Structure 1
Amino acid sequence: MSRLLVEYAAHHAEPLRQLYLRARQQAFTWLDSTQFALADFDAATQGETILVALDQEKPVGFVAWWPPDNFVHSLFVAPEQAGQGIGKALLQACLARVGRPATLKCLQANDPALRFYERQGWVITEAGDSAEGPYFLLALQ
């Protein structure tokens, strides 16, 4: 298996739209997934910096962040690739560029993601509400 992290390029858009849709359908079971659309990827990552994980030249994950605030906005891995270290590698590469402190939001109902971030050293600093449900703000110093 040949994995590589690369800067986002236009030819990654369609596979990442598909990945984002599938990953959210699987992870966000408490939401109405019929409301999810391929175009959501474009809206969610507009203006952000994106790194893409490739496996044999096929996108299998991505991380997107907003550099002015050191805010990690999205981290998604293809469901069939979960648990193989892709998310951790993407997050580490992102943090190497973003620096510290960094923050992110994680929906409270997304237990697997919360456990993942806590294992990586992130700490819950506050809670809030969003259209997708209650979330935690996490920070890494």
Structure 2
Amino acid sequence: MADRIVIREAEASDLPRLRTLFTKSRRETFHWNNPDRYQPSDFDEQTDGEEILVAAVDGEIAGFAAVWTPQSFLHHLYVASEFHGQGVGHALLGSAIDKLTLPVRLKCLVRNVKALSFYQAHGWQRLETGRDDDGEYYLMQLE
């Protein structure tokens, strides 16, 4: 599968699919919150000014990562559920890190156990705990 994954910069024509993927992924992942809380317009608001990388498998958008380069911050990494376990997240994470300067940081919700395991398996360390509108999170860092 890894040889079928292409990581590229997002294009304007990707936006409808990225908005849908973002909304669906957040509703599935953060199932403890009201799903109506997550709307397609959130994508534009939350990625404004960020560099967006798209993972495509056989031409189909399978996931994306959004990075805020001034602070070496991985803001979002989502993979469509039908592509979980196929190396898409790994490929996106590697490409996102390549865009940033170490150390790189991210926030991961404490209740998002799958994502925590994923990041820890890739060498990320927990620095501190905080809270935002989605709940308690870990600030994590990769050096």
TM-score above 0.5:
yes
- Tell me the residue number matched to 1:30: 32
CA distance in 2, matches of 1:79, 1:43: 23
> Which whole-Å CA distance do the structure 2 matches of 1:133 and 1:35 have between them?
13
Runs of 4+ in 1 over 4 A off after TM superposition: none
Aligned mate of 2:123, from 121, 128, 133 = 121
Compute the TM-score of the two structures, normalised by the length of structure 1. Answer: 0.97
Deviations 1:1-57 (A, max 9, x none): 632111011001000111111111111111111121111111111110010001122
The residue correspondences of 1:2-21 to structure 2 (distance < 5 A) are 2-21=4-23
* Selected match of 1:50 from 14, 28, 52: 52
Between the aligned residues of both structures, percent identity stands at 39
- In structure 1, the partner of 2:108 is 106
1:128 alignment partner, SS class: strand
CA contact (8 A) 1:22 1:79 kept: no
Instruction: Count matched residues.
Output: 141
- Which residue does 1:88 correspond to in 2? 90
RMSD: 0.9
In structure 1, the gaps of 5 or more residues are: none
State the TM-score, normalizing by the size of structure 2. Answer: 0.95
